Amino acid sequence: MTQVQLFVTCLVDSFFPQTGEAVVNILHRLGIDVDFAPDQTCCGQPQFNAGLRKDARAIAEHTIRTFENTTGDIVTPSGSCAHMFRHNYPEIFEGDSVWLPRAKALAERTYEFTEYLVDKLNVTDLGATWDGPITYHPSCHTLRGIDVDRQPRELLANVKGATLVELPQAEECCGFGGIMSVEHPELSAEWLKRKISNLEMSQAPVLVVTDAGCRMHIAGGLNRQKKSQRVMHIAEVLSHQ
């Protein structure tokens, strides 16, 4: 039986455990054995983005050690964490003859969840069902960081009963941007207002995302504005039968 390692991410672990459960359920249905390294922590992206390279390196070293003792591909329900493993870890260890090869080995094993389903398993139809329209927000790191866009769209297009509606100005950032939402809250709030306005223009009651950061940010804005639309991770939609 094929085995994968789940890198669940700190936001999913802390706020959206149902996303992690949906990922595991889908992989199990596909005959994939899912292992979970209990020593995993944050990927270190907040520290990296804040310029705290020493702290980010310590987290990266811990993560590499944790997964070096495991076998199989690493699957994560987060394009931003996949981007951190693939691009930022090698940058952290650039010129380091000991750690750079270890970072690259980790990067080569890492897949964002929808990317793993479509590109590694060649699965685009999970037998999922949904009643009504949905729309898709391509998270920045997923779309631009690791060039994953076709994969989630193919999976959503095969959800029976769902109508996939195009989100106006879909490629615009939602305003979360990791620590940007903390360092530039006014700019973040304006982008969020635009994203919610575009969601309303789509007339879809459900917005699908691939990253918990976007989910938390947009859902928070909808709640504060007392809007009825929901934000869901794609794994939860794909696990619905």
pLDDT confidence of residue 1? 80
| Spatial contact of 114 and 210, defined as CB atoms under 8 Å apart | yes
Closest CA to 143 of 104, 166, 103, 170: 170
**Can you list the domains of the chain with their CATH numbers?**
3-119 (no CATH), 124-238 (3.40.50)
**Is the C-alpha dihedral spanning 75, 139, 233, 65 positive or negative?**
positive
Rounded Cα–Cα distance for residues 152 and 39 (Å): 29
pLDDT confidence of residue 181? 67
pLDDT confidence of residue 179? 67
The half-sphere exposure of 36 on its side-chain side, counting CA atoms within 13 A, is: 9
Rounded Cα–Cα distance for residues 216 and 218 (Å): 6
Distance of CA 168 to the CA centre of its chain: 21
Distances from the Cα of 214 to the Cα of 6, 73, 192, angstroms: 20, 25, 10
- The owner of tokens 């934000």 is 231
pLDDT confidence of residue 203? 97
pLDDT confidence of residue 183? 74
| pTM, full prediction | 0.95
Rounded Cα–Cα distance for residues 88 and 77 (Å): 18
pLDDT confidence of residue 235? 98
pLDDT confidence of residue 186? 85
Residues whose CB falls within 8 Å of the CB of residue 63, separated by 6 or more in sequence, listed in order: 40, 41, 43, 44, 85, 89, 106
Q: What single letter denotes the amino acid at residue 203?
A: Q
Please give the radius of gyration of the chain, using alpha carbons only, rounded to the nearest integer.
Answer: 18
From the first residue on, what is the mean pLDDT of each consecutive set of 10 residues in the chain (241 residues)? 95 97 98 97 94 97 97 97 97 98 98 98 98 96 96 98 97 83 80 96 98 95 96 98 88
Q: Terminal CA-to-CA distance of the chain, rounded, Å?
A: 24
- The owner of tokens 């360092």 is 183
- Token pair in block for residue 123: 């699965």
Neighbour tally for 21: CB within 10 Å: 15
